[in-house]
Structure 1
């Protein structure tokens, strides 16, 4: 320990009060004990530490060893014994029990102040240091987990890269030079690794193919979309298909280039049919939407985007379809329930609401779908029927005879009776329309009309529509 070289000149004659203030300010806790280890005075730098350690003032008159946990009491004796022999003891950590249940670690050193019956024991609260150490440990563990994930990912990448039978290369997007290549590429190009790496990709094809590859890489770099072209190799004049994809790594753009034999046409059979289906999906005049099982949109075609008054397909991705489809979400909820139960619906009439308030009458057909992992979803076809001509005039719902009679009764009967008759006509029309929209599903019709099932059954019998209620159906819900 190094002490002041001229304490009398630099500090002067400090009084007991000044020394006490100095000790209390310089430490978190300071204790004055006698030769028997009994606490004669105590000072705390912070009030919260005083409440945690000596809230009841129980330290005064107690032995310092009695204020610490059982396993650290021996260290208190060592502190005082060493201070009695030397001017100051070494620092030792002891733990104080607290009312909260967690021990409070404090680093103590005992100082001999020149009196045989007095020692000053100063301490530092180690909890901030322990918290910092714990954060450091957590950060180190998190970094180690991230490094482990990266190592595992790199191992899987290298393994797939090496064992792939398809020629795969990583090409720098700025210089078009090959950065990495798997063994299949070396065999296809008939080159050794030192000669292949850092060479320009287009140099391994004939003059026509080299120009096509440069054009391909330029298009992929500009649009970000995958592309492919059919070319001939410079050695052996073998035909192959070059496919390029753009990706970024460490602020640099790279191409993942794959070469496959051109013996089999790339769009033959099922692949050609799939390509045509994708073209139909994008070009269809009707709105086509694919959703997850909960109704969230996975993909939508441009026709639906236009009907919903959106700017692009990304605005629809991840949103619920009933945000735009259905009259206030009620009738479409019924259709969706039927779709989940029956796996398909046909020509369901509803409305489509645009983002800017436009509405259109549409017909919806849908079917249950499942991908290769058996994850289920739905495919929707939405057709605008606003401009469709009616097949016949008989399809228009005729008003009941009582409506015409109501006009003749004006002036002959009180207005109160006229309103009652008009209300009955409207109620009957509404119930018939709800039953038609829900396919005679009484529970869904009641929900759509805002009625209980019991009230709906009463009104069905009242208007002579009791055939819609199943035999034996009680009036109770």
Structure 2
């Protein structure tokens, strides 16, 4: 804390009345308390705040600890201890119960008045900041929900495109080059993907039918209506029914082309694909497990057997995954509850235990499945993350950037530290939002947040936003 260098010269003999006016004007609420925490005098800057907090005049003579919520009483003890014993003024946020139902958040700091039996406690009303924080959280959650919905939709359509037995291509409407093609198209053309992509679509048809393909695409481009043509492939001479539709994406015109063979298209290897998937399941580097709805193991791959120190798959079949995964009776129950509710979990951090005492930190991703009898079951992918290298060195004070990262800390750090981290995240987001809303005008941002410019500069440096607070301007304050 920086104080005046020559207070007697600059302020003169400041009387008690003048000091009281100064304190009341500079803060939203000011309290004079004794060393036992009993309130001896009260001053409010706003009548509306005084009516809401002390409308019945019960604060005088009450203990400061008794007029705050039970969960913030410990902060009052620390506040008074800092001012009396440690002589290090600090700011602590506490909540006052309100007759309106919602608690009133106030940021307090306490300093000694130079007398052994009196302390000055000054506070700032944080309701406007809390409302802004809530709006920011709601906006962020809404954006995350929209992003997840878009990703799910993209995944579904991409999967449909890939597994369709009908040959489907995406062709650029201007250059008539193939932009994308599904496996059925590659099987029909008998060419690899690297050779097919960015090649002229007409080249895959018989010379006598290439002009018919180009005419069909020209008609669709000019009229916007779907077009059809009977054409013959160049490689096999097989006759196909070609369908073309025009659509726009990101200011570009594209054709969606479908080919239906008049004769049966050769098998694209469905059975072979299933065999490859089963082989991948068995030899995958990550542990993979399929369980019943209650978490009992149906099938496990070799990586899982190795990590759990089991000799064969029969030792795992029918056993609860809880026997090896996470804290017994806790982690698997949490994972199953989320799977039953949302159908998927991602990067769930826990521990995998072996039969002979070995353990490893793992990340678990899982999805809900339905078997051939439409019975629900779950598929787990478990990855060992003990040897994972960090992407970049991070300091101990680096803040989590999302709700998901804060969730990962649950069970690893005390609730008190988790709440403190959450408060820091929200405070940083609020400052960034205020700077963005005011066009990086620091004075307006400070007014919007209810802070002095000097306090705003301190917080900018604390959160690594020092470029918003030049040293020269901070000194001018």
Q: TM-score, normalised by structure 1?
A: 0.50
CA RMSD of aligned residues (A): 2.6
Q: Which residue of structure 2 aligns with residue 77 of structure 1? A: 77
Query: 40-49 vs 102-111, which deviates more?
Result: 40-49
**Once the 2 structures are TM-superposed, how far is the Cα of residue 263 of structure 1 from its aligned partner?**
5.3
Distance in 1 of aligned mates of 2:104 and 2:202 = 69
Distance in 1 of aligned mates of 2:12 and 2:127 = 35
Counterpart contact for 1:88–1:112, Cα < 8 Å: no
Counterpart contact for 1:113–1:119, Cα < 8 Å: yes
Closer/same/farther in 2, CA of residues 36 and 210 from structure 1, 3 Å limit: same
Superposition pairs for residues 42-191 of structure 1, below 5 Å? 42-191=42-191
**Once the 2 structures are TM-superposed, how far is the Cα of residue 153 of structure 1 from its aligned partner?**
2.0
Q: Which residue of structure 2 aligns with residue 248 of structure 1? A: 248
Closer/same/farther in 2, CA of residues 259 and 118 from structure 1, 3 Å limit: same
Closer/same/farther in 2, CA of residues 66 and 212 from structure 1, 3 Å limit: same
Closer/same/farther in 2, CA of residues 3 and 171 from structure 1, 3 Å limit: farther
Equivalent position SS for 1:174: coil
**Once the 2 structures are TM-superposed, how far is the Cα of residue 14 of structure 1 from its aligned partner?**
4.8
What are structure 2's unaligned runs of at least 5 residues? 265-477
**Once the 2 structures are TM-superposed, how far is the Cα of residue 135 of structure 1 from its aligned partner?**
2.5
Counterpart contact for 2:168–2:258, Cα < 8 Å: yes
Closer/same/farther in 2, CA of residues 48 and 238 from structure 1, 3 Å limit: same
**Once the 2 structures are TM-superposed, how far is the Cα of residue 121 of structure 1 from its aligned partner?**
0.9
Closer/same/farther in 2, CA of residues 18 and 204 from structure 1, 3 Å limit: farther
Equivalent position SS for 1:242: strand
Q: Which residue of structure 2 aligns with residue 368 of structure 1? A: none
Q: Which residue of structure 1 aligns with residue 261 of structure 2? A: 261
Q: Which residue of structure 1 aligns with residue 27 of structure 2? A: 27
Larger radius of gyration: 1
Number of equivalenced pairs: 264
Counterpart contact for 1:231–1:242, Cα < 8 Å: yes
Q: Which digits, 9 at most, give the CA deviation of each residue in 1:169-188, with x for residues without a partner?
A: 11223332222111110011
Counterpart contact for 2:169–2:182, Cα < 8 Å: yes
Equivalent position SS for 1:62: coil
Superposition pairs for residues 288-307 of structure 1, below 5 Å? none
Counterpart contact for 1:88–1:109, Cα < 8 Å: no
**Once the 2 structures are TM-superposed, how far is the Cα of residue 132 of structure 1 from its aligned partner?**
2.7
Counterpart contact for 1:111–1:121, Cα < 8 Å: yes
Closer/same/farther in 2, CA of residues 165 and 73 from structure 1, 3 Å limit: closer
Q: Which digits, 9 at most, give the CA deviation of each residue in 1:243-302, with x for residues without a partner?
A: 1122233333322111112459xxxxxxxxxxxxxxxxxxxxxxxxxxxxxxxxxxxxxx
Closer/same/farther in 2, CA of residues 121 and 236 from structure 1, 3 Å limit: same
The answer to whether the aligner puts 1:202 opposite 2:202 as a matched pair is yes
Q: Which residue of structure 2 aligns with residue 213 of structure 1? A: 213
Q: Which digits, 9 at most, give the CA deviation of each residue in 1:305-359, with x for residues without a partner?
A: xxxxxxxxxxxxxxxxxxxxxxxxxxxxxxxxxxxxxxxxxxxxxxxxxxxxxxx
Q: Which residue of structure 2 aligns with residue 289 of structure 1? A: none
Equivalent position SS for 1:99: coil
Higher relative contact order (CA 8 A, sep 6+): 2
Equivalent position SS for 1:59: coil
Distance in 2 of aligned mates of 1:252 and 1:10 = 69
**Once the 2 structures are TM-superposed, how far is the Cα of residue 5 of structure 1 from its aligned partner?**
4.5
Closer/same/farther in 2, CA of residues 240 and 4 from structure 1, 3 Å limit: farther
Distance in 1 of aligned mates of 2:139 and 2:215 = 47
Counterpart contact for 1:88–1:110, Cα < 8 Å: no
Distance in 2 of aligned mates of 1:171 and 1:21 = 76
Q: Which residue of structure 1 aligns with residue 271 of structure 2? A: none
Distance in 2 of aligned mates of 1:61 and 1:177 = 84
Distance in 2 of aligned mates of 1:82 and 1:195 = 73
Distance in 2 of aligned mates of 1:252 and 1:13 = 76
What are structure 1's unaligned runs of at least 5 residues? 265-477
Closer/same/farther in 2, CA of residues 257 and 47 from structure 1, 3 Å limit: farther
Equivalent position SS for 2:198: coil
Equivalent position SS for 1:199: coil
**Once the 2 structures are TM-superposed, how far is the Cα of residue 208 of structure 1 from its aligned partner?**
4.4
Counterpart contact for 1:33–1:39, Cα < 8 Å: yes
Distance in 1 of aligned mates of 2:143 and 2:93 = 30
Counterpart contact for 1:113–1:120, Cα < 8 Å: yes
Q: TM-score, normalised by structure 2?
A: 0.50
Closer/same/farther in 2, CA of residues 115 and 174 from structure 1, 3 Å limit: farther
Q: Which residue of structure 1 aligns with residue 192 of structure 2? A: 192
Closer/same/farther in 2, CA of residues 97 and 240 from structure 1, 3 Å limit: same
Distance in 1 of aligned mates of 2:250 and 2:61 = 66
**Once the 2 structures are TM-superposed, how far is the Cα of residue 73 of structure 1 from its aligned partner?**
2.9
Q: Which digits, 9 at most, give the CA deviation of each residue in 1:392-434, with x for residues without a partner?
A: xxxxxxxxxxxxxxxxxxxxxxxxxxxxxxxxxxxxxxxxxxx
**Once the 2 structures are TM-superposed, how far is the Cα of residue 113 of structure 1 from its aligned partner?**
2.7
**Once the 2 structures are TM-superposed, how far is the Cα of residue 16 of structure 1 from its aligned partner?**
4.2
